[in-house]
Chains A and B, each alone.
Chain A
Amino acid sequence: MTEPVLELRDVNKSFGPIDVLHDINLTVKAGEVLCLLGDNGAGKSTLIKTLAGVHKPTSGQMFMDGKAVTFDKPKDAADRGIATVHQFGGTFPLMTIGRSFFVGVEPTRKIGPFKVFDRKTANETAVKAVQEFGITRIDDGDRLIGGLSGGERQSLAIARAVHFGARVLILDEPTAALGVKQASHVLRIVLEAKKRGIAVIFITHQVTHAMAVGDHFAVLIRGAVAANFMRGEKSREEITDLMAGGEALADLDTAMEGYMETHEGHPPQPASRATVA
């Protein structure tokens, strides 16, 4: 149980001369939610693409259950149980729930010599899978994905990944485009997936959402892990500070204070007004 499902050791990734990831060391255990925090451009997407087999690390190694693994293509990662759910969940808005649930692994039944797509089984399985996650409003597998709300789509995509035996679930900003209520649905589903013993990697820049579900947090800054801590070790303010690049914000603070001291407590004028004066 204590052995991590997925482990990265000194992973580096560079595109030509540009280093995107520096010496990333991360572990995630079964039934644990690892929150990956970071500002835009911190390397979050490169990291998850590396985990999902889209990119190959330039150096360093990945381990699953303690054994070294390399992924040549996304399918290799998927076959080992690493599933990625993207921001908008279902990517086929014009396909039905049943059909998109089984893209690539369609159930078939035999009619004479022909293998026929089994729509009934596909729809029933898809609806059942998503209802087990508590989304009871999805009850007709013939509905189009495009007709679902953002939260429902995310839930469906997560339910799909779990149904197909995901062991590591990578959620790429699942709550970014959602309202408060929808986001809480998705967070509840993240907890449900965790309860089932799945290792969840939850990428977000919303600290509130991360703190609601996370067991383990890692903050990425300019492609390096700037902080790696467990639940309860840091406060929300500390995390926010870290994400914004801590020092930079502190520098800005002292600069402001210094200016106000020498200017009788006035903050700096906006540039346009300053030139007029």
Chain B
Amino acid sequence: MYNFVVGTILRRPEAGAALSLILVVLFFVLFGGVDIANMLGAASWVNFAANLGIVAIPVGLLMIAGELDISIGAMIPAGSMTISILSGHYELPILVGMAGALGLGVIVGLINGLLTVRTSVPSLIITLATLVAMQGIVLSASVLLTGKASVPLAAPEWTKAIFGQLIGGSYQIIILWWLAFVVVAWAVVHHSRFGNWLFAMGGDKESARNPGIPTTKMAIWLFILSAVSASFVGMCGAILFNSAQVSGGMNYIFNAIVSVVVGGVLLTGGFGSIIGIFFGTLTFAVVNQGIYFTDIDRNWSSLIIGVMLLLAVLMNNSFRNLAMTYSPRKPAVKAAVTNPSKA
């Protein structure tokens, strides 16, 4: 029975991510002299995780579907600049600014999606192009329209309460948005037909299309979701901090990909889980922000992230092989006859 439980847990896609989180916290406690209660209660890493997590989920979904979106790096400042220019600089109603920010996400997502399904160019290259292009558009539009690269925004109280509030003085309300997003995404991906289509699509697009799964439509919607999520994060930032800058956001590209990969999503698609992405994001945030609570010099954090990424991917690989060959009834016999195909 013991073997059964361990096997069932280890063959889940999130096993590696959960283990990484435990290892990182342990490492900080053992070698960093960190006060664990103090660190886990701090808002800084939770805020960081929430902002990153909202982008990481759609990036992870795209990766499961076999695509990649790095234009999120430009969509975060694009979202915050759009709302600040519309509602701050031109003093239009805040709803117009919000619609503008999210609408821009829809447009860019649509462009990414249409280009990806209509051409055979890899989505990495397409979104790289839109990333760079959007950076240019945001910067020139900002300078052209406002003459500045930083625009103030005074959002009304009710929008602040929903999108830019600090709960208990330090916890950003976006944490709740993130948790809600995780729950919805988990329900859809793991407990609906759509979720099954997503995995099928990432596993083998041709075989998914034959039984009638609308793979092109799904890809376009996923790109829209990811661009809108990114501009949502930017929009919330602008509402919270009362201003927007054209720079920033580029870190999110790698941070999101690291979170997703640590979370057990296969870079080539077809495998992964929302809980895994959730743990991957938490792990990344703990390393990135938790290091301030340790005696370890801040400069080492990138090294830790690099090592952690490598370890997590190696762990995920072996767990995936375990999952392939694992049969809870008679594991010894199965392990001998099966040949774990390379993933």
A93-B341, A147-B324 known; A106 vs B193 contact (CB < 8 Å): yes
B213 and A146 contact, CB distance less than 8 A: no
In this assembly, does B28 line the interface, its C-beta being within 8 Å of a C-beta of chain A?
no
A117-B191, A146-B340 known; A104 vs B199 contact (CB < 8 Å): no
Residues of A within 8 A of B271 (CB): 94
In this assembly, does A14 line the interface, its C-beta being within 8 Å of a C-beta of chain B?
no
A99 and B196 contact, CB distance less than 8 A: yes
Contact of B324 among A100, A105, A144 (CB under 8 A): A144
CB interface residues, A 75-129, toward B, < 8 Å: 75, 78, 91-95, 99-100, 102-106, 108, 114-117
In this assembly, does B48 line the interface, its C-beta being within 8 Å of a C-beta of chain A?
no
B203 and A95 contact, CB distance less than 8 A: yes
A92 and B199 contact, CB distance less than 8 A: yes
Residues of A within 8 A of B191 (CB): 116-117
Identify which of B191, B196, B203, B207 gathers the most chain A CB atoms within 10 Å of its CB: B196
Residues of A within 8 A of B203 (CB): 91-95, 100
In this assembly, does A188 line the interface, its C-beta being within 8 Å of a C-beta of chain B?
no
A78-B211, A99-B199, A105-B211 known; A147 vs B193 contact (CB < 8 Å): no
In this assembly, does A148 line the interface, its C-beta being within 8 Å of a C-beta of chain B?
yes
Interface size class of A (residues with CB under 8 A): 20 to 34
For the complex formed, measure the closest distance between the CB of B192 and the CB atoms of chain A, giving whole angstroms: 6
Tell me the nearest residue of chain B to A143, going by C-beta: B327
Give Cα distance in the complex from A143 to B322, angstroms: 11
For the complex formed, measure the closest distance between the CB of B50 and the CB atoms of chain A, giving whole angstroms: 26
Give Cα distance in the complex from A114 to B200, angstroms: 21
Stretch among B109-117, B241-249, B331-339 lining the A interface:
B331-339
In this assembly, does B323 line the interface, its C-beta being within 8 Å of a C-beta of chain A?
yes
In this assembly, does B93 line the interface, its C-beta being within 8 Å of a C-beta of chain A?
no
For the complex formed, measure the closest distance between the CB of B208 and the CB atoms of chain A, giving whole angstroms: 7
B329 and A95 contact, CB distance less than 8 A: no
Give Cα distance in the complex from A116 to B266, angstroms: 25
B337 and A103 contact, CB distance less than 8 A: no
Give per-residue flags for B200-215: 1 if the beta carbon is below 8 A from chain A beta carbons, else 0: 1001101111111100
Give per-residue flags for B301-343: 1 if the beta carbon is below 8 A from chain A beta carbons, else 0: 0000000000000000000100111111100001001111101
A93-B343, A117-B191, A147-B340 known; A75 vs B211 contact (CB < 8 Å): yes
Tell me the nearest residue of chain B to A52, going by C-beta: B210
For the complex formed, measure the closest distance between the CB of A6 and the CB atoms of chain B, giving whole angstroms: 18
Give per-residue flags for A57-86: 1 if the beta carbon is below 8 A from chain B beta carbons, else 0: 000000000000000001100100000000
B200 and A95 contact, CB distance less than 8 A: yes
Contact of B192 among A93, A105, A115, A149 (CB under 8 A): A115
A94-B266, A95-B203 known; A149 vs B196 contact (CB < 8 Å): no
A91 and B207 contact, CB distance less than 8 A: yes
Residues of A within 8 A of B325 (CB): 147
A115 and B193 contact, CB distance less than 8 A: yes
Residues of B within 8 A of A117 (CB): 190-193, 195-196
For the complex formed, measure the closest distance between the CB of B295 and the CB atoms of chain A, giving whole angstroms: 42
In this assembly, does A10 line the interface, its C-beta being within 8 Å of a C-beta of chain B?
no
B210 and A92 contact, CB distance less than 8 A: no
Tell me the nearest residue of chain A to B204, going by C-beta: A91
Residues of B within 8 A of A95 (CB): 199-200, 203, 270
In this assembly, does B197 line the interface, its C-beta being within 8 Å of a C-beta of chain A?
yes
Give Cα distance in the complex from A91 to B212, angstroms: 15
A93-B203, A117-B191, A117-B193 known; A104 vs B211 contact (CB < 8 Å): yes
Give Cα distance in the complex from A100 to B271, angstroms: 13
A92-B207, A103-B213, A146-B343 known; A116 vs B324 contact (CB < 8 Å): no
Give Cα distance in the complex from A92 to B323, angstroms: 14
In this assembly, does A23 line the interface, its C-beta being within 8 Å of a C-beta of chain B?
no
In this assembly, does A139 line the interface, its C-beta being within 8 Å of a C-beta of chain B?
yes
Give Cα distance in the complex from A116 to B212, angstroms: 19
A94 and B343 contact, CB distance less than 8 A: yes
Residues of B within 8 A of A241 (CB): none
For the complex formed, measure the closest distance between the CB of B23 and the CB atoms of chain A, giving whole angstroms: 25
In this assembly, does A19 line the interface, its C-beta being within 8 Å of a C-beta of chain B?
no
Give residues in A with beta carbon < 8 Å to B: 74-75, 78, 91-95, 99-100, 102-106, 108, 114-117, 139-140, 143-144, 146-149
In the complex, the 8 A-B pairs of residues with the closest C-beta atoms, listed nearest first: A104-B211, A92-B203, A91-B207, A94-B271, A91-B204, A146-B324, A106-B193, A147-B324
Can you list 6 A-B contacts with CB-CB less than 8 angstroms, sorted by A residue number? A92-B204, A93-B270, A94-B203, A114-B187, A117-B190, A117-B191
Apart from A94-B266, A103-B207, A139-B329, list 13 A-B contacts with CB within 8 A: A75-B212, A92-B199, A93-B343, A95-B199, A99-B196, A104-B197, A104-B208, A117-B190, A117-B193, A140-B327, A144-B324, A147-B324, A147-B327
